Amino acid sequence: MTPRLPRPQTLLAAALLLALIPAAFAENLSIAFADPISSADPQLNNHAGDRSLALHFWDSIINSRDGGKLEPALAASWRAIDERTWEFKLRSDIKWQDGTPFTADDIVFSFQRARSVPGTVASYAGALRTVESTTAKDAHTVIVRTNTPNPMLPLDIASIYIVSKHVGEKSKTEDYNAGRAVVGTGPYKLVSYTPGDRSVFETSPSYWGPKPLWDKVTYRFINNGAARTAALLSGDVDVIDKVAVTDVEKLRKTPGVSVYTYPGLRVLLLQPSHRAGPNEFITDNAGKPLAANPLQDVRVRQALSVAINRKAIVDRVLQGTVTEANQWMPKGTFGHNPDVKDIAYNPEQAKKLLADAGFPQGFKISIHVPGDRYPQAPETVQAVAQFWTRIGVKTQVEVVPWSVYSGKATKNEFAVSVIAWGNGTGEAGYGLLQTLATNDPKRGRGANNWGRYSHESVDKALDAATVEFDARRREAMFRHAAKLVTDDVGHIPLFHYQNIWAAKKGLKVVPLLSDRTTSMQVTKVGK
């Protein structure tokens, strides 16, 4: 009996079915995130959104994880040869996504570029402030010399994304934004980048590490918290970050949704301007600019701090999803000073301090806050304005788009600015260096010290801690600095955020680094 051959139609149907099988098993993920992205250039701005995106395409010489834990990355190992010399042994099996071998020259180039990318408003120069020279000993060995002993160097440079020399030396930020220069060593390669909207990326076949779980990722910017929740509930996205405080309980009770909450390392701070002379945003009660800046008087800063009912803000505005802050590091972290007590709400004391400072009738002031950057920041500042107005400091709130706000805040153009500082290294030195050290671009200090606070003893504490290799003594110095800043009200801390994600049932989200949101944090339950 002659066997019957399949009909051509049957063969075609089978072929189509086989063609569809890989797609059926493709693992796709869609994430809606809240932090705006200024650029796809991984060295332009040290912003949370930029860093979260960059983690998909780029590697660091060393990986930093929460708690200051360091892990090998592009460097397989590292050691201090002496107090000012570090050796990094690089992996020899890594290639850029265009097939070019990764070498020590890429590290040298990246450290040079990261110091001064044109157009930056949040430079990475601070992470490289002690680096005197970076040289390639051979193709897979880098020697870093510092200008002073720096036990924190590996943690510092872990924040620098490494870009390729052969692509980067002929590229500008616009080339990264266009995707032409996004040739990394990371787990994903860029498919598309649409500013203010989304990025799409897929796994890189040349990645040197474990294959990512997700084959294709759609990374969507949705600034509005309610809109992020709606996108999750409608099935448009699989994961959202920075869940709106008004939606947390609703989502906890929603079938098909899981909520993941973890202690955060981001603190919401008010930064009073210490600029001398008149300020257009500080006037007397008749609206006439004051001859001198009252915020330079510690009594005024103390008054403004104790006039704020932080517990009320935590309970009513943030609905218990944050914790009160009395310093820039939360409890249990390296450098947190347990002797610094919570700041008691005391409006009567605030009025007395104002009177002692020469303002018994108060004055008028404006607080500027970005409306599209920090969750619940505008609402929080509105509450602060009410508390200040009650003690005679009539306060107006100006909500500004981040695109405008960041440039003006960096130049100390406001009377009071607002920053949600993410302590990405997990220890007190990072915030001390970036937000409290005297602003000094040449030394890579105070890049985010928008109010231009300056305190000699705080700078000395930073100087001493920077060169101290003994962890106990270094932490004692950080704690001392925390007490100095608190007593002097160098900034006004309000609360520490929690990291809150929500995902469709079956997905699990775990923290990776500070408040970053990446596809690598998302796994399936049971994996």
Q: Which of 221, 249, 283 is the last residue of a domain?
A: 221
Is residue 206 domain-shared with residue 134, that is, in the same domain? yes
Is residue 453 domain-shared with residue 389, that is, in the same domain? yes
Give the C-alpha separation, 399 to 282, whole Å.
17
Q: Which of 188, 203, 221 is the last residue of a domain?
A: 221
What's the pLDDT tens digit per position in 223-276?
Answer: 899 999 999 999 999 999 999 999 999 999 999 999 999 888 899 999 999 999
Is residue 76 domain-shared with residue 207, that is, in the same domain? yes
Give the C-alpha separation, 85 to 144, whole Å.
6
What's the pLDDT tens digit per position in 75-98?
Answer: 999 999 999 999 999 999 999 999
Is residue 188 domain-shared with residue 327, that is, in the same domain? no
Residue 502 located in a structural domain: no
Query: Cβ distance 274 to 439 under 8 Å?
Result: no
Whole-number pLDDT of residue 350: 98
CATH number of the domain encompassing residue 344: 3.10.105.10
Is residue 320 domain-shared with residue 182, that is, in the same domain? no
Mean pLDDT, rounded, for 443-466: 92
Q: How far apart are the first and last CA of the chain?
A: 52
Whole-number pLDDT of residue 122: 86
Least confident of 49-53, 124-128, 213-217, 246-250: 124-128
334, 340, 341, 346: CA torsion to nearest 10:
-130
Is residue 195 domain-shared with residue 295, that is, in the same domain? no
Give counts: helices (H), strands (E), the chain.
16, 20
Is residue 305 domain-shared with residue 451, that is, in the same domain? yes
Phi then psi dihedrals of residue 367, to 5 deg: -110, 130
Domain hosting residue 478, numbered range: 265-497
Query: Cβ distance 366 to 395 under 8 Å?
Result: yes
Is residue 330 domain-shared with residue 440, that is, in the same domain? yes
Residue 17 located in a structural domain: no
Domain total of the chain: 2
CB atoms within 10 A of CB 464: 16
Is residue 490 domain-shared with residue 365, that is, in the same domain? yes
Query: Cβ distance 272 to 436 under 8 Å?
Result: no
Residue 2 located in a structural domain: no
CATH number of the domain encompassing residue 146: 3.40.190.10
CB atoms within 10 A of CB 295: 21
Whole-number pLDDT of residue 67: 63
